[in-house]
Amino acid sequence: MRKTPIAEWLLAHVAGRDRSAAIMGDLEELAASRSRLWFWIEYLRTLISLGWRTGGSAFILAFVCVRFMYGTVIQWLMNHRAPTLMQAGLFGVYNLHVRIITWNISMVMAQVLCFATPFVVIRFGLRNRLTQLACALFVIGIPFYTLRPWVMDLSGLLSVLIIAAVLVATPWRKPLAILAGTCLSAIAVKVIYLFLLPSVFHHRHIPWMPSSWVDATSFAFAAIVCVYLHHWLLQRPVASDRTIA
Amino acid sequence: MNPERTLGEFEQIVLLAVLRLGDEAYGVTILDEIAAKTGRNPAPGALYTTLHRMEDKGLVTFRDGSPTPERGGRAKRFVIVTREGRNALASAQAAYQSLLQGLDLLDAKLFGGAYA
């Protein structure tokens, strides 16, 4: 038997101290009839399978997805936009108020969901209601960036309809509340930095931050809010409180 | 059945293995039991991920054993299936049973004698 304190310490960061000690013990016991190489391969596989769904790695991977989306997909969609946004579209040119409401919902939603969707997919998995809702709204929201009035109108209308339907269906309300909290917290950080701080401290110098830093800060805050709300609203009480059969 | 409580195939296998092992269910014995009864050799990482997910769902809970020298002085962590875990497993198995009704999977005619 060899001591592996660094390996155990690393595993404890993704699985917790109790769990990591038991896992290392199991691997030691299994390795007794196998090789030391097997031990390290299985250790690494365990570390990756337990670690890639943690908040930190989900945030990093989701942020990479956001940069990719902003830099390529949305850029490409916007390069293929319609020459004018004043075409009749779904609601006609005289219904600007309807357009403004649905377009704004769709645009803001799609922008924040570029981060929130990959984050919840990695953190909570595809079988989670929050992930399923985020994916549905993302798929409906992202065509907004084609900047073609028909598509934008349809995207906005579908977004509003889905949100209304989710509000009626009880099992989907909590996931919607989590998603709304996540989106609003990301927006709040951006609004505070870009609009509120300059207006309050207009006579002082506010340190300039690159847009990617502002994005990272707002998304980090949104990720924390998302994980907290998910734990608070969707996860059940801890297992130790349950009746053992 | 509540869709939030639906179990994946591997989750069901793990729960059944834990129930078969009773008080002796921990990582090593669960892996051995699955290998012995199903012929599969799941990776330890897959087992721990599943166990931790089921712990978060409240389907299993753990109790600590005493440390042993062959484990580097580390304690075993025995798995216990909660009442919710048993109910979820029973629901999943009832669904299988319902689908299996009327089918004779070992019927020689149906499979051309392969399983006869």
- Segment A118-129 shows an average pLDDT of 90
- Segment B38-65 shows an average pLDDT of 91
- Whether pLDDT at A1 is above 80: no
Class for the domain spanning B3-100: mainly alpha
Mean pLDDT lowest among B3-17, B22-36, B94-108: B94-108
* Separation of alpha carbons A103 and A81, rounded Å: 15
- Segment A88-114 shows an average pLDDT of 75
Helix (H) or strand (E) holding B20: helix B9-21
Contact A115, A219 (CB under 8 A): yes
Across the interface, do A32 and B27 touch by the CB < 8 Å criterion? no
- Segment A213-224 shows an average pLDDT of 90
Among candidates B48, B68, B69 on the partner chain, residue whose Cβ is nearest the Cβ of A46: B48
Select the more confidently predicted residue: A87 or A212: A212
- Whether pLDDT at B92 is above 60: yes
Do residues A41 and A107 both lie within one domain?
Answer: no
The backbone torsions φ and ψ at residue B60, rounded to the nearest 5 degrees and listed phi first, read -135, 160
Across the interface, do B77 and A18 touch by the CB < 8 Å criterion? yes
Q: Which two tokens stand for residue A124?
A: 């909570």
* Separation of alpha carbons A68 and A74, rounded Å: 9
Q: Print the domain residue range for A28.
A: 5-51
- Whether pLDDT at A37 is above 90: yes
> What does the H/E/C string look like for A18-65?
HHHHHHHHHHHHHHCCCCHHHHHHHHHHHHHHHHCCCHHHHHHHHHHH
The backbone torsions φ and ψ at residue A112, rounded to the nearest 5 degrees and listed phi first, read -75, -35
Could you tell me if residue A47 is inside a domain?
A: yes
Could you tell me if residue A111 is inside a domain?
A: yes
Do residues A79 and A122 both lie within one domain?
Answer: yes
Do residues A79 and A151 both lie within one domain?
Answer: yes
Do residues A15 and A121 both lie within one domain?
Answer: no
Distance set, CA A60 to CA A57, A127, A220, B52 (Å) = 5, 21, 9, 22
- Whether pLDDT at A88 is above 70: no
Distance set, CA B64 to CA A19, B61, B69, B73 (Å) = 10, 10, 15, 13
- Segment A62-73 shows an average pLDDT of 88
* Separation of alpha carbons A133 and A164, rounded Å: 13
- Segment A201-210 shows an average pLDDT of 68
Q: Which two tokens stand for residue A225?
A: 């809010």
Distance from CA of A3 to the nearest CA of B (A): 7
Interface residue of B71, B76, B80, B83 to substitute, partner A, most A CBs within 10 Å: B71
Distance from CA of B15 to the nearest CA of A (A): 13
Do residues A127 and A24 both lie within one domain?
Answer: no
Do residues A19 and A136 both lie within one domain?
Answer: no
- Whether pLDDT at A167 is above 90: yes
| The residue type at A245 | A
Do residues A18 and A108 both lie within one domain?
Answer: no
Across the interface, do B48 and A19 touch by the CB < 8 Å criterion? yes
- Whether pLDDT at A238 is above 70: no
Among candidates A1, A19, A46 on the partner chain, residue whose Cβ is nearest the Cβ of B72: A1
Contact list in B for residue A238 (CB cut-off 8 A) is 58
Among candidates A21, A42, A237 on the partner chain, residue whose Cβ is nearest the Cβ of B45: A42
| Per-residue model confidence (pLDDT) at position A76 | 85
Could you tell me if residue A128 is inside a domain?
A: yes
| Per-residue model confidence (pLDDT) at position B70 | 82
| Per-residue model confidence (pLDDT) at position A87 | 66
Do residues A37 and A77 both lie within one domain?
Answer: no
**A95 pLDDT band (50/70/90 cuts)?**
low
**A239 pLDDT band (50/70/90 cuts)?**
very low
- Whether pLDDT at A50 is above 90: no
Select the more confidently predicted residue: B112 or A96: A96
Do residues A166 and A217 both lie within one domain?
Answer: yes
Do residues A46 and A64 both lie within one domain?
Answer: no
Can you tell me which residue has the tokens 């051995």?
B32
Do residues A93 and A198 both lie within one domain?
Answer: yes
Across the interface, do A18 and B82 touch by the CB < 8 Å criterion? no
Can you tell me which residue has the tokens 């570390």?
A47
Select the more confidently predicted residue: B106 or A130: A130
Could you tell me if residue A245 is inside a domain?
A: no
Find the residue in A nearest to B54 (Cα). Answer: A239
Could you tell me if residue A195 is inside a domain?
A: yes
User: Where do the structural domains in chain B lie, given as residue ranges?
Assistant: 3-100
In chain B, the largest separation of any two C-alpha atoms, in whole Å, equals 56
Could you tell me if residue A244 is inside a domain?
A: no
| Per-residue model confidence (pLDDT) at position A240 | 46
Q: Which two tokens stand for residue A120?
A: 């919840």
Select the more confidently predicted residue: A79 or A173: A173
Number of A/B CB contacts below 8 angstroms equals 104
Could you tell me if residue A36 is inside a domain?
A: yes
**A176 pLDDT band (50/70/90 cuts)?**
very high
Distance set, CA A153 to CA A16, A54, A76, A125, B66 (Å) = 48, 37, 20, 31, 64
Helix (H) or strand (E) holding A99: helix A96-124
Can you tell me which residue has the tokens 């040119």?
A93
| Per-residue model confidence (pLDDT) at position B109 | 56
Contact list in A for residue B56 (CB cut-off 8 A) is 235, 239
The total number of structural domains in chain A stands at 2
Do residues A71 and A165 both lie within one domain?
Answer: yes
Could you tell me if residue A65 is inside a domain?
A: yes
Question: Which DSSP letter does residue A194 get?
Answer: I
pTM above 0.80, yes or no: no
Among candidates A21, A45, A242 on the partner chain, residue whose Cβ is nearest the Cβ of B45: A45
Across the interface, do A26 and B44 touch by the CB < 8 Å criterion? yes
